[in-house]
A = this chain, B = another copy of it.
Amino acid sequence: MSHLTLVKVGGKIVEEPASLQKLLDDFAQIKGYKVLVHGGGRSATRIASQLGIESQMVNGRRITDAETLKVVTMVYGGLVNKNIVSGLQARDINAVGLTGADMNVILSDKRPVKDIDYGFVGDVKQVNGGRLAELIKSNIVPVMAPLTHDGQGHILNTNADTIASETAKALAAYFDVTLIYCFEKKGVLSDETDDNSVITEINRQQFSRLVEQGVIQGGMIPKLENAFHAIDAGVNQVIITSSDTIDGRHGTKIR
């Protein structure tokens, strides 16, 4: 199978002009088939605030009422997405911006109300890997916004990490997939106070031991759990790294 690299970048990187340009330069250098999944939360919060809409977050997730849905649809699907697409076109990468509604690539269910009503938030139900693979094989580079749809005419706000992992899993049937999660550190650290203490490779046994030892803790645990789920679902490797180093040779490799 051909190799495909799926890079997920958070809002901070794609929202600042200088870091966006650097990211696009680096992304353009990646050889072979590729996909970019982006966030945009900071811009959404800023523009919501300018429009007099207060951003309510619970456990790091945005409560998405009807007005907030309009903001994220504008910001993720419009502003952030089209800046990336035009920036990639300028680098001769034939990008296409997609939400889950476009070509019906990602269907989701509105999250059921339990303790918290997240509003117009979608949990991914199905990624149309075949459709995406067809596009990708015709040398188009999907740039995916963190928005999906319910098939009934509603756009739903959807976590970008989830879109990245579910898309990577769906594409694993067609490609040899490397999933790269960018975050603010150089990788999984063995010493949180030392940015250079990157663990270069980790398997499930090592992960369990490091959690037991308290070396890996907090938000890194679900991140790594997700990475192992992606591996179980056929993704070849997951890399957790800084957005400065998306060449596949840096960060922490999970296999």
Contact = CB atoms under 8 A, between A and B. Distances in A.
Contacts of A95: 101-103
A101 B75 contact: no
A147 B82 contact: yes
B77 A149 contact: no
A90 B153 contact: yes
A154 to B, nearest CB: 6
Interface string A86-105: 11011000111111011110
Q: Specify how many copies of this chain sit in the oligomer.
A: 2
A79 B82 contact: no
Contacts of A50: 50-52
A89 B153 contact: yes
A151 interface: yes
Given A94-B103, A97-B99, A102-B95, A81 B86 contact: no
B51 A86 contact: no
Contact of A86 (B75, B94, B96, B154): B154
Contact of A79 (B74, B81, B87): B74
A83 interface: yes
B90 A151 contact: yes
A187 to B, nearest CB: 30
B75 A155 contact: no
Nearest to A78: B78
Nearest to A84: B101
Interface string A194-213: 00000000000000000000
A142 to B, nearest CB: 10
